[in-house]
Amino acid sequence: MSPHDSPFLRACRRLPVDRTPVWFMRQAGRALPEYRRVRADVPMLDACARPDMIVEITLQPVRRYGVDAAILFSDIVVPLRAVGVDLDIKPGVGPVIAQPVRRAEGVQALRDLEPDDIGFVTEAVGELVERLDGTPLIGFAGGPFTLASYLVEGGPSKNHEHTKALMYGRPELWAELMRKLSAISTAFLKAQIAAGASAVQLFDSWAGALSAQDYRTHVLPHSRAVFDELGGLGVPRIHFGVGTGELLGLMGQAGADVVGVDWRVPLDEAARRVDPGKALQGNLDPAVLFAPWPVVAERTRAVLAAARSAEGHVFNLGHGVLPSTDPDVLTRLVSFVHEESAC
Ligand code: 1CP
């Protein structure tokens, strides 16, 4: 079977589907006991560098939940580490950078990503495409703003103050950093597509920290550079951020085929904010999965109803699966989305 006619790729292309496709951001991860088992003695970045673990962890949620797409097990900081940035992913914290990049020397020291740097990813993608037997594989990368935020802040940040200080105070150096990060993300995505990924998602998770004006000036041109480079490769391009209700139109204009929406804006309103010719992805609040099932069902129906205003719809959560989510609720949700949307 080829992934080409799968409901997921058809919905991304705004073609008719016989049921709404569904996958979950962070579907591979701590909500799954089988994930915790294989990761027990292996640090996160070591797991991301081992093709056997990438393959197994990517397949786990497909087996368990019956989702319509797999997403590669990796992390947005993997290509940064692959070009030599000294960083780690600390349990309970997230990515931590040994020497935050705030000056010209740090920006200049960033080098391009070469295919040889990420052979473990291309090997895993190739094997996954065979093993997935027609279920599409989504490749991904971090958006340049989100990567810049980790590099400049040195780790997770609420206010992104050092990042904004660089963006406002040294706009040329900022642009240089963003050009380098765009090139790294582009190379990471191209390698995944060349190895067989059927679609790609650019996670600019923290872009919602920006006003529309700042996004337009300081971020959009760089995200557009990534999408433009992928335009001729024939795979749908998904663009996602959190708290980006005010930016949905601009994130679409950056060059996405599918715009990811968090739970704060209903999909019918999102459809008005995004230019025609794009599908939407989303957008059940991941915290709703902790409510009694009738509430989950009602909210899921509401998402499906609002999505009728969209030209194409891929069901997802509005952000990643929370680690303490009951996996059985996710399994039930996949079936429910399929049943409710079947025509
Ligand atoms: O010990 C662990 O299990 C580590 C937890 C973990 C996992 C499972 C991290 C640390 N990353 C991942 C995998 C991961 N990261 C995937 C796998 C595929 C999937 O199932 O979806 C993906 C797509 C990512 C992407 C990622 N990493 C994003 C973008 C998506 C999002 O959630 O907005 C971001 C922002 C990161 C950074 C990151 N890596 C890990 C954590 C805990 C974080 C966020 C920390 C923070 O709040 O800043």
75 assigned binding-site residue? yes
For residue 1, the model assigns a pLDDT of 65
| Residues tagged active-site | 26, 30, 39, 75, 150
169 assigned binding-site residue? no
**Residue 91 to residues 94, 114, 324, Cα–Cα distance (Å):** 6, 28, 15
Residues contacting ligand 1 via CB (< 6 Å): 25-30, 39, 44, 71, 73, 75-76, 89, 91, 94-95, 140, 146, 156, 203, 205, 320
Residues 270, 323, 90, 223, Cα dihedral to 10°: -20
Class (C level, CATH) for 3-341: alpha beta
Contact 279, 258 (CB under 8 A): yes
- CA-156 nearest atom, ligand 1: 48
For residue 85, the model assigns a pLDDT of 98
The 8 Å CB, 24+ separation contacts for 248-252 are 248/273, 248/274, 249/273, 249/274, 249/275, 250/212, 250/215, 250/216, 250/220, 251/204, 251/207, 251/223, 252/278
Report how far residue 137's alpha carbon sits from residue 223's, in angstroms, rounded to the nearest whole number: 22
Measured CA angle at 92 (ends 89, 93), to 5 deg? 55
Residue carrying structure tokens 């949700």: 333
Range list of H helices, 141-219: 144-153, 161-169, 171-194, 212-218
- CA-28 nearest atom, ligand 1: 20
CA of 94 to the centre of ligand 1 (A): 7
Report how far residue 266's alpha carbon sits from residue 302's, in angstroms, rounded to the nearest whole number: 9
Measured CA angle at 103 (ends 240, 168), to 5 deg? 55
β-partners of residue 315 are 22, 282
For residue 4, the model assigns a pLDDT of 82
Report how far residue 118's alpha carbon sits from residue 75's, in angstroms, rounded to the nearest whole number: 13
Q: Name the residue of 22, 23, 26 to mutate for ligand 1: max ligand atoms within 8 A of Cβ.
A: 26
* Contact partners, residue 95, CB within 8 Å, separation at least 6: 75, 76, 77, 87, 88, 89, 150, 155, 156
Report how far residue 262's alpha carbon sits from residue 229's, in angstroms, rounded to the nearest whole number: 26
CA of 186 to the centre of ligand 1 (A): 19
Measured CA angle at 30 (ends 24, 31), to 5 deg? 60
Query: ipTM value of the model?
Result: 0.92
β-partners of residue 90 are 94
Report how far residue 224's alpha carbon sits from residue 252's, in angstroms, rounded to the nearest whole number: 10
**Residue 69 token pair:** 């797409």
Q: Mind giving me the DSSP string for 205-245?
A: GGGGGS-HHHHHHHTHHHHHHHHHHHGGG---EEEE-SS-G
Report how far residue 77's alpha carbon sits from residue 86's, in angstroms, rounded to the nearest whole number: 11
The amino acid at 254: A
Contact 168, 207 (CB under 8 A): no
Task: Output the pTM of the full model.
Answer: 0.97
Report how far residue 91's alpha carbon sits from residue 328's, in angstroms, rounded to the nearest whole number: 24
Q: What is the CA radius of gyration of the chain?
A: 19
**Residue 242 token pair:** 């959190």
For residue 162, the model assigns a pLDDT of 98
For each of the chain's 343 residues, which pLDDT tens digit applies? 688 899 999 999 999 999 999 999 999 998 999 999 999 999 999 999 999 999 999 999 999 999 999 999 999 999 999 999 999 999 999 999 999 999 999 999 999 999 999 999 999 999 999 999 999 999 999 999 999 999 999 999 999 999 999 999 999 999 999 999 999 999 999 999 999 999 999 999 999 999 999 999 999 999 999 999 999 999 999 999 999 999 999 999 999 999 999 999 999 999 999 999 999 999 999 999 999 999 999 999 999 999 999 999 999 999 999 999 999 999 999 999 999 999 7
CA of 75 to the centre of ligand 1 (A): 6
Report how far residue 213's alpha carbon sits from residue 168's, in angstroms, rounded to the nearest whole number: 12
Three-state DSSP at 282 gives: strand
